[in-house]
């Protein structure tokens, strides 16, 4: 049996305490399984004296006495030896194979029963004191653990809320940057970083990456890159823990590293990057040597708790990255299809070629100027592209009529917002474009169409697109007229702001024009083959929009 550090400390405190309260000397030793003697506590006697006494012991007889004894600590034999009239007694402690000699100072009377009692009480006191101390330390550990669990729960809740509120437009880099400092605290790492896959692929190039990190590492970027590759080649699963003791090959050439957690951000076979926690921080502060002895050596390494947290974050981030990618692909597909449809319409009505693209761009610029968020601006862009999709339902004979339209024909043209609405209304993912498509010819004074809505009854998208649409119609060249100078179009917009067009939208386009975000774009000259009235000039200002 091997004595623990705690037992050894109790033995030493007990022996030295016993010596202080009596006129005797205590030497403690233990017998190993191979019958070797190890001195654990040496009093004033020379080692030779102790060895001489040990030679006098009848071990077989002593062992038998110990096994018969019910007492926790007792003297099992006594013998007077030496010329100095010392009484030397052998005793056994409650610890297996741990014995002690008690000897009196020369010419000192000795009462074995009294000593036995004193030694037992003293032993019990030391044992109880240690037990109390151990319980106190355990309580402190418990409090520490509960605090850590609380921190972990708080962090997980914060991550789930943060990710839950994230949009697919946010990169994993943006998402993780606010979470890493807290995670580093919870796992006690010197450094935590998100290493994007591009960083690993582009080693040796001049391209510099801004990594999302928390804490510090002395590893330069190139070495960090090399270490990630080393971890990748040694990693068996999605998350691996490497420690110098068990995985020395991983740390070969990286003397500054002791241990790490490596998590691959992977979803559906695609790798988006890696999460890396380097060097476990250890709190060496101890209030007593006993507390030092109680330090868990596993605390010097990352364990399953820390690896689990990184793995959880890795799973969340890789899912987000994969979903964002799918979302972007879908968005690109939708935009591509919409653009194809718009091109088909523009081909049908040559005069307004490029008009939908410009209305989309102008509308987005106005929306940005009005402070709408990125997603709303993108939606307004798509609505601008589609605003005249209903023209596909207007007969070519009317769209291409070279002469002035009759009232009946004009009524047919005015149906294009509703036709557009009907075409698009079954496309659920594009439901957000419907208000703008249906209401882009409304006027804030109620004189627009199709419903004659007034002011804010008109959806914001409709009011924005009406301004963008009119500005482009006024400033674009037409086969039958030159486009107006921007100043003249601006003057018309300002004059009718609040009556035909929404004041705020007009104000926003003026700001965009002033800052250069919007500039009149003269279309290429188109050969007049169809009715100029259908494309731009219908009736006063409203009719200027397409
Ligand atoms: Fe229109």
Ligand 1 centre to CA of 485 (Å) is 22
CATH of the domain at 244: 3.30.450.40
Over residues 148-185, the pLDDT tens digits come to 788 888 888 888 888 778 887 788 888 888 888 888 88
Please determine, for residue 358, whether its predicted confidence score (pLDDT) is greater than 60.
yes
Higher pLDDT, 110 or 457: 457
Domain final residue, candidates 103, 130, 157? 130
421 and 512 both lie in a single domain: yes
Q: Does 377 map to a domain?
A: yes
Q: Does 142 map to a domain?
A: no
Higher pLDDT, 399 or 259: 259
Ligand 1 centre to CA of 306 (Å) is 59
Domain region containing 410: 349-544
Please determine, for residue 221, whether its predicted confidence score (pLDDT) is greater than 50.
yes
Of the candidate ranges 216-220, 250-254, 343-347, the one whose mean pLDDT is the lowest: 343-347
Ligand 1 centre to CA of 355 (Å) is 10
Ligand 1 centre to CA of 431 (Å) is 18
Q: Does 334 map to a domain?
A: no
Mean pLDDT of 308-316: 89
Higher pLDDT, 204 or 327: 327
Q: pLDDT value at position 47?
A: 73
Q: CA torsion angle for 280, 284, 285, 287 (degrees, to 10)?
A: 130
Over residues 63-81, the pLDDT tens digits come to 666 666 555 565 666 555 5
> DSSP string spanning 40-84?
EE--SS-HHHHHHHHHH--HHHHHHHHHH--SSSEEEEEEEETTT
Q: pLDDT value at position 160?
A: 81
317 and 353 both lie in a single domain: no
Q: Does 89 map to a domain?
A: yes
Q: pLDDT value at position 110?
A: 72
How far apart (Å, rounded) are the C-alpha atoms in residues 269 and 390?
43
Ligand 1 centre to CA of 545 (Å) is 7
Q: pLDDT value at position 174?
A: 83
318 and 213 both lie in a single domain: yes
CATH of the domain at 73: 3.30.450
Q: Are 261 and 234 in contact (CB under 8 A)?
A: no
17 and 112 both lie in a single domain: yes
511 and 433 both lie in a single domain: yes
Over residues 112-130, the pLDDT tens digits come to 777 778 888 888 888 899 8
In this prediction, residue 521 has a pLDDT band, given cuts at 50, 70 and 90, of low
CATH of the domain at 411: 1.10.3210.10
Q: Does 279 map to a domain?
A: yes
Give which of 473, 415, 398, 499 is closest to 449, Cα–Cα. 415
Ligand 1 centre to CA of 441 (Å) is 6
Overall number of domains in the chain? 3
Please determine, for residue 545, whether its predicted confidence score (pLDDT) is greater than 70.
no
Residue 169: exposed, middle, or buried by beta-carbon count in 10 A (0-12, 13-18, 19+)?
A: middle
Over residues 414-425, the pLDDT tens digits come to 999 999 999 999
Please determine, for residue 263, whether its predicted confidence score (pLDDT) is greater than 90.
yes
Domain final residue, candidates 323, 340, 366? 323
Please determine, for residue 536, whether its predicted confidence score (pLDDT) is greater than 60.
no
289 and 435 both lie in a single domain: no
Higher pLDDT, 148 or 468: 468
Q: What percent of the chain has pLDDT over 70?
A: 83
506 and 374 both lie in a single domain: yes
Mean pLDDT of 298-309: 80
Q: Does 158 map to a domain?
A: no
310 and 380 both lie in a single domain: no
Ligand 1 centre to CA of 348 (Å) is 14
180 and 46 both lie in a single domain: no
200 and 254 both lie in a single domain: yes
Q: Are 163 and 324 in contact (CB under 8 A)?
A: no
**pTM as predicted:** 0.58
Mean pLDDT of the chain: 81
262 and 398 both lie in a single domain: no
Domain final residue, candidates 105, 130, 155? 130
Higher pLDDT, 507 or 168: 507
67 and 197 both lie in a single domain: no
Higher pLDDT, 93 or 318: 318
Task: Determine phi and psi for 403, rounding to 5 degrees.
Answer: -100, 175
Q: pLDDT value at position 422?
A: 93
Q: Does 112 map to a domain?
A: yes
Ligand 1 centre to CA of 439 (Å) is 9
Q: Does 514 map to a domain?
A: yes
Highest mean pLDDT: which range of 155-159, 209-213, 268-272, 443-447: 443-447
Ligand 1 centre to CA of 413 (Å) is 9
Q: Which residues contact 536 (CB under 8 A, 6 or more apart)?
A: 351, 352, 473, 474, 476, 478, 543, 544, 545, 546
Mean pLDDT of 475-482: 75
Ligand 1 centre to CA of 372 (Å) is 23
């Amino acid at each position: 049996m091997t004595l623990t550090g705690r037992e050894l400390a109790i033995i030493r405190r007990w022996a030295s305490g016993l010596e202080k309260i009596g006129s005797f000397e205590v030497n403690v030793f233990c017998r190993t399984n191979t019958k070797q003697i190890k001195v654990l506590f040496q009093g004033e006697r020379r080692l030779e004296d102790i060895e001489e006494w040990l030679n006098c012991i009848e071990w077989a007889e002593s062992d038998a006495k110990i096994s018969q004894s019910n007492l926790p600590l007792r003297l099992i034999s006594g013998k007077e030896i030496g010329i100095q009239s010392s009484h030397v007694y052998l005793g056994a402690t409650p610890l297996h194979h741990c014995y002690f000699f008690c000897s009196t100072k020369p010419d000192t009377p000795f009462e074995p029963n009294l000593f036995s009692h004193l030694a037992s009480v003293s032993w019990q006191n030391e044992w109880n004191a240690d037990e109390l101390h151990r319980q106190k330390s355990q309580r402190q550990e418990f409090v520490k653990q509960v605090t850590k669990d609380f921190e972990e729960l708080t962090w997980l809740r914060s991550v789930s809320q943060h990710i839950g509120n994230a949009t697919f437009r946010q990169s994993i880099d943006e998402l993780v940057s606010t979470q890493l400092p807290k995670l580093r605290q919870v796992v006690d790492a010197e450094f935590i970083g998100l290493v994007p896959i591009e960083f690993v692929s582009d080693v040796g190039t001049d391209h510099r990456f801004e990594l999302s990190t928390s804490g510090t590492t002395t590893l330069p970027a190139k070495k960090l890159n090399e270490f990630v590759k080393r971890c990748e080649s040694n990693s068996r699963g999605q998350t691996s823990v490497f420690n110098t003791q068990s995985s020395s090959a991983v740390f070969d050439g990286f003397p500054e590293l002791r241990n790490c957690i490596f998590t691959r951000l992977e979803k559906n076979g695609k790798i988006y990057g890696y999460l890396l926690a380097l060097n476990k921080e250890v709190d060496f502060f101890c209030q007593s040597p006993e507390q030092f002895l109680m330090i868990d050596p596993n605390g010097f390494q990352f364990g399953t708790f820390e690896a689990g947290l990184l793995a959880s974050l890795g799973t969340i981030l890789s899912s987000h990255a994969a979903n964002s990618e799918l979302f972007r692909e879908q968005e690109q597909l939708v935009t591509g299809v919409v653009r194809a449809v718009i091109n088909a319409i523009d081909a049908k009505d040559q005069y307004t070629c490029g008009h939908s693209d410009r209305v989309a761009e102008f509308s987005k610029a106005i929306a940005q100027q009005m402070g709408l968020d990125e997603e709303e601006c993108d939606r307004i862009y798509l609505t601008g592209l589609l605003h005249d999709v209903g023209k596909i339902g207007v007969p070519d004979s009317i769209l291409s009529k070279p002469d002035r339209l009759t009232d009946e024909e004009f009524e047919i043209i005015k149906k294009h917002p509703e036709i557009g609405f009907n075409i698009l209304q079954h496309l659920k993912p594009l439901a957000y474009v419907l208000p703008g498509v249906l209401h882009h010819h409304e006027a804030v004074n109620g004189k627009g169409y199709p419903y004659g809505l007034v002011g804010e009854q008109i959806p914001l998208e409709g009011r924005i697109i009406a301004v963008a649409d009119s500005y482009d119609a006024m400033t674009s060249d037409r086969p039958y007229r030159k486009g107006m100078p921007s100043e003249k179009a601006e003057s018309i917009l300002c004059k009718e702001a609040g009556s035909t067009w929404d004041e705020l939208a007009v104000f926003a386009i003026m700001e965009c024009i002033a800052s250069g975000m919007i500039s009149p774009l003269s279309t290429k000259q188109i050969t007049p083959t169809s009715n100029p009235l259908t494309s731009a000039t219908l009736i006063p200002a409203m009719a200027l929009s397409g």
